[in-house]
Chain A
Amino acid sequence: MKKVLIGGIGNVLLGDDGVGPYVARLLAAHYEFEDGVEVADLGTPALDLIDQLTANDAVILIDSVNVHDGVADQGAILLYRKKDIMRLRPAVRMDPHSPALVDALLSAELFGVAPTDLLLVGINSDSYEPTCSLSQPVRESLEEAIAEVLNELDRLGVSYWHRAHPVESGIWWAETAMEPALIK
């Protein structure tokens, strides 16, 4: 049995930063997965992410990314693999609890507990004001983000099933229901 973590990262109180938890909860509401797959809203775990990465064969993370200057549109889906992230420099930390995907992955690798496969499904965004709503471009990209997660499960040979009757998504923070017309 393959151990797979699908984890949404981000702060649900800060606008588009909440897209990771949003996607994770939509996935759990609309799909069932084979044994060994865990879908989790990880919030903003900083270095505690090491604990989450540990003891998994594969990890799929969903997070907002921030690419400016005409490189990618708002709402564009950008994919990063383990080797892309491992190439980046970790932070010199003033505040030890700042975002820490790079640090967590490099530490997990040092400790010998990092997953073999890691994919980050990034949703490009730059609206991080205190609000519980997603911006329009990010809302429109939810389905594509979900499709990328499912593609990765296909690639890993992990089974999943679309629920005929979705369960409650548990997106308690949203002002209004914003679920896209899910899903093939």
Chain B
Amino acid sequence: MAKRITIDPITRIEGHLRIDVDVDNNAVSNAWASCTMWRGIENILRGRDPRDAWLFTQRFCGVCTTVHAMASVRAVEDALQLEVPLNAQYIRNLILIAHALHDHIVHFYQLSALDWVDILQIPKADLNATTKLAESISPWTRNSREEFKAAQDRVNAVAASGQLGIFMNGYWGHPAMRLSPEVNLLAFTHYVQALEYQRKALQVVGILGSKTPHIQNLTVGGVANAINLDNASALNMDRLEMIRGLLEEVVQFVNQVYFVDVCALAAMYPDWFKIGKGVNNYMAVPDLPLDCAGSSYDLPGGTIMNGNIGGVHAFKTASDKDFRAAVSEDVAHAYYQGDKPLHPWKGVTDPDFTGWTAEQKYSWVKAPRYNGAPMQVGPLAQVLVGFAQGHPLTVKHASRAIETIGAVGHFQVTPGMLESTLGRHGARAIRASMLAELAQKHLQLLTDNIAKGDTAVFNQPVFPSHEIEGVGTHEAPRGTLSHWVVVKDAKIKNYQAVVPSTWNASPRDASGAQGPYEASLMHTPLARPEEPLEVLRTIHSFDPCMACACHTFDPTGQEIAKVKVL
């Protein structure tokens, strides 16, 4: 007889991911993913000036501010068929790359590493052995005995104080934790160091976007950065050099620390290459445009259906005609009115809350579908779609990961193994090292273009009175983001955002097909069902973001997930 486990964050204000799993013989036999808050934010945009939409969409989510701003201006530009000057493309690309590098570092160290790293083991680590191990896998100069000792002392101090603080809720000592004390210490030391480098990535966004967390420099038709190499207040040589310096440090951290840590961790949990596969339809859109019209890109896009890598279908542009035609949202199991899937331009967001019922409606997330099929999006999709097309940069960094994991773990790694919980972490590290390389390339492209005397940053938008439609996409850290806008008389008539976590957290559709989170949990073994660490590992590997949560502070301290076993 299966028992059901519900993992549901208790806050008085709802707006979170909830997971329900049935557990039979210590393995997941059924799974449901749901979001507990109504998202009707898009309705706020109706009737507004499309040139202002990005200011509002930037507030959809406080962590993904930049990506929603970018998708919004691209959607309006697509509707207007408006090109963007080359400088504006490069500046936008640099902002997106820096944002993504920040996001990936934060995701691994602050949000996921402690699913795999056991803090309780750290006091047992031998400092000399840790230093020797670190030197054998990376040239990182901060892999020193002093840094390891400082990190170990920090953990010892926390343990001695009895105030566990941030570690209060970890599943420490769980049987699924299997790293040696030395690897635990190595990863924890980098968890502390990561804080400095994630901030440097954010500084790049701040210099180009004039502020963080909400950038100020976007505009429909380009960017608002003044470019003048001789003016102290404009984007000048000093600022470009400052960005170059910051990027160098971030790039080094990604290549010598983050990438290596993910490979080392993967090498020590080989069984997690067999867990968490789920939906094996993959999608990514092209990004980092290299010309004004957006006809060539540094990152490829396309779809793979049923894991058929050889049958990859490439998207030619970021708003490819196939993509425009194929997306719909199904509400059979979502708390919205409607009886058939709707294209986002026709989308409606009218609530129909019925309470959580496994057989009927159970989520505030709609079920996006591509030609009727659920799709997994995110770094794994990005890497597989690129790898399948023989994209040189993807192949280069994916091969490096596969070799590194194999060398540390002494086992054969194949690209197909990436279709797993650990593979999603590996793919994110591969994507990050690709982006690190591209960061420096796009800074050089910008610098060279300015040196040629081109200072154009903006093309004036002109709105017709008749109805126009556009889609703006961005291949964001969590996957394919698309904003869909309908404009009439220079006013927004309809606006829908189909966000990466909607694809991945999708509930079942009318045919009963599970979304990626749900499918990925099937058959996962649980060592202790009442401490479902394994469920958290797989869900965290997607880097979920429910992109809308209120931020109200709950002073009763109940901001904690409830794990309920029925």
Q: Spell out A's residues near B (CB within 8 Å).
A: 9-14, 17, 20, 41-48, 50-51, 54, 63-68, 78, 80, 84, 86-99, 101-103, 106-107, 109-113, 120, 122, 125, 128-132, 172-173
B62, B107, B536, B540: which contacts A43 (Cβ < 8 A)? B62
Contact, CB under 8 Å: B63 / A97: yes
Name the one of A11, A20, A110 contacting B59, with C-beta atoms under 8 angstroms.
Answer: A11
Bound together, the chains give a CA A97 to CA B41 distance in angstroms of 18
Q: How far is the CA of A36 from the CA of B214 in the complex (A)?
A: 21
Q: Is the CB of B9 within 8 A of A47?
A: no
Nearest B residue (CB) for A92:
B561
With A80-B555, A91-B560 known to touch, is A50 a contact of B62 (CB < 8 Å)?
A: no
Nearest CB of chain A from residue B514's CB, rounded to whole Å: 17
Contact across chains for A42 and B213 when beta carbons are under 8 A apart:
yes
Write out the residue numbers on chain A whose beta carbons fall within 8 Å of the beta carbon of B555. Answer: 65, 67, 78, 80, 84, 88, 122
The answer to whether A96 touches B59, judged by C-beta atoms less than 8 angstroms apart, is: no
A90 neighbours in B (Cβ, 8 Å): 165-166, 168-169, 559-560
Q: Are B549 and A113 in contact (CB under 8 A)?
A: no
Nearest Cβ on chain A to B463's Cβ, whole angstroms: 20
Residues from chain A with a CB closer than 8 A to the CB of B133 are: none
CA distance A88 to B166 in the complex (A): 10
Measured CB to CB, the nearest residue on chain A to B8 is A94
Rounded to whole Å, the gap between the CB of B333 and the closest CB of chain A is: 19
A11 lies within 8 A of B551 (CB) = yes
Q: Which residues of A are found within 8 Å of B52, using beta-carbon distances?
A: 172
Chain A residues in 8 Å Cβ range of B16: 94-95, 98
Task: Choose, from B192-200, B223-231, B281-289, B422-430, the stretch at the interface.
Answer: B192-200
Measured between beta carbons, the chain B residues less than 8 angstroms from A93 are 9, 111, 536, 540, 561
Closest to A41 in B: B214
* Contact status of A130 and B553, CB under 8 A, knowing A42-B213, A51-B199, A89-B559: no
Return B551 CB to nearest CB of chain A, in Å.
4
Q: Is B391 an interface residue (CB 8 A)?
A: no
Chain A residues positioned under 8 Å from B19 (CB to CB): 94
Q: Is B56 a contact of A13 with CB atoms below 8 Å?
A: yes
Pair A46/B63 contact, Cβ less than 8 Å:
yes
Give the contacting residue for B41; candidates A13, A87, A110, A125; CB below 8 A: A13
Residues A64 and B106 in contact, CB atoms below 8 Å apart: no
Which one of A50, A66, A106, A125 lies within 8 Å of B554 (CB-CB)? A66
Q: Is B524 on the interface with A (CB-CB < 8 A)?
A: no
Given A41-B214, A48-B213, residue A96 in contact with residue B553 (CB < 8 A)? no
Query: Does B237 interact with chain A (Cβ within 8 Å)?
Result: no
Contacts A92-B536, A130-B39 supplied; 9 other A-B pairs, CB < 8 Å: A11-B548, A48-B106, A66-B554, A94-B16, A94-B544, A95-B17, A172-B55, A173-B55, A173-B59
Interface residues of B (CB under 8 A from A): 7-9, 11-13, 15-19, 38-41, 43-44, 52, 55-56, 59-65, 106-107, 110-112, 154, 158, 165-166, 168-169, 192, 195, 198-199, 202, 213-214, 536, 539-540, 543-557, 559-561, 563
The answer for the CA separation of A96 and B192 in the assembled complex, in Å, is 18
Contacts of B168 in A (CB 8 A): 89-90
9 contacts between A and B (CB under 8 A): A46-B63, A63-B551, A80-B555, A92-B9, A93-B111, A98-B15, A98-B16, A109-B166, A173-B59
Is the beta-carbon distance between A97 and B61 smaller than 8 angstroms? yes
Contacts of B112 in A (CB 8 A): 96
Distance from B302 Cβ to chain A, minimum over Cβ atoms (Å): 28
Q: Are B169 and A46 in contact (CB under 8 A)?
A: no
A129: B residues at CB distance < 8 A: 40
B553 partner, pick from A64, A97, A112, beta carbons under 8 A: A64
The answer to whether B9 and A95 have CB atoms under 8 Å apart is: yes
CB distance from B276 to the nearest CB of A (A): 15
B111 touching A111, Cβ below 8 Å: no
B552 contacts A47, CB within 8 Å?
no
Query: Which residues from chain A contact B553 at a C-beta distance below 8 Å?
Result: 9, 63-66, 80, 99, 101, 120, 122
Contact B195 A47 (CB under 8 A): no
Partner of B559 from A80, A91, A109, A173 at Cβ < 8 Å: A91
Contact at B213–A43, with CB atoms within 8 Å? yes
Residue of A nearest to B158 (CB): A110
Cβ–Cβ < 8 Å partners of A128 in chain B = 13, 550, 552
Knowing A51-B199, A98-B549, A122-B553, the reply to whether A106 touches B166 (Cβ < 8 A) is yes
A175 closest partner in B (C-beta): B44
Chain A residues within an 8 Å CB radius of B8 = 94
Q: Contact partner of A99 among B39, B158, B539, B559, CB < 8 A? A: B559
Shortest B349–chain A CB gap in Å is 9
B111, B166, B198: the one within 8 Å of A51 (CB): B198
Task: Compute how far the CA of A70 lies from the CA of B13 in the bound complex, rounded to whole angstroms.
Answer: 17
Given A44-B61, A45-B63, A50-B195, the answer on whether A130 and B44 have CB atoms closer than 8 Å is yes
From B64, B195, B198, A113 is in contact (CB under 8 Å) with: B195
Q: A106–B170 Cα gap in the complex (Å)?
A: 14
Q: Do the beta carbons of B11 and A96 come within 8 Å of each other?
A: no
Given A14-B550, A99-B559, A130-B40, A92 and B169 touching (CB < 8 A)? yes
Q: How far is the CB of A23 from chain B (nearest CB, A)?
A: 14
B299 vs chain A, min Cβ distance (A)? 24
> Is there contact, CB below 8 Å, between A68 and B12?
yes
Residue of A nearest to B154 (CB): A110
B551 touches A44 (CB 8 A): yes
Known contacts: A9-B551, A17-B551. The answer to whether A94 contacts B7 by CB under 8 A is yes
Contact between B59 and A43, CB atoms less than 8 A apart = yes
Residues of B within 8 A of A109 (CB): 165-166
When the two chains form the complex, which single residue of B43, B59, B536, B546 contacts A97, counting CB atoms closer than 8 Å? B546
Known: A96-B540, A98-B16, A106-B166. A63 touches B552 (CB 8 A): yes
Q: Are A46 and B62 in contact, with the CB atoms below 8 A? A: yes
Asked if B550 and A99 make an inter-chain contact with CB atoms under 8 angstroms apart, the answer reads: yes
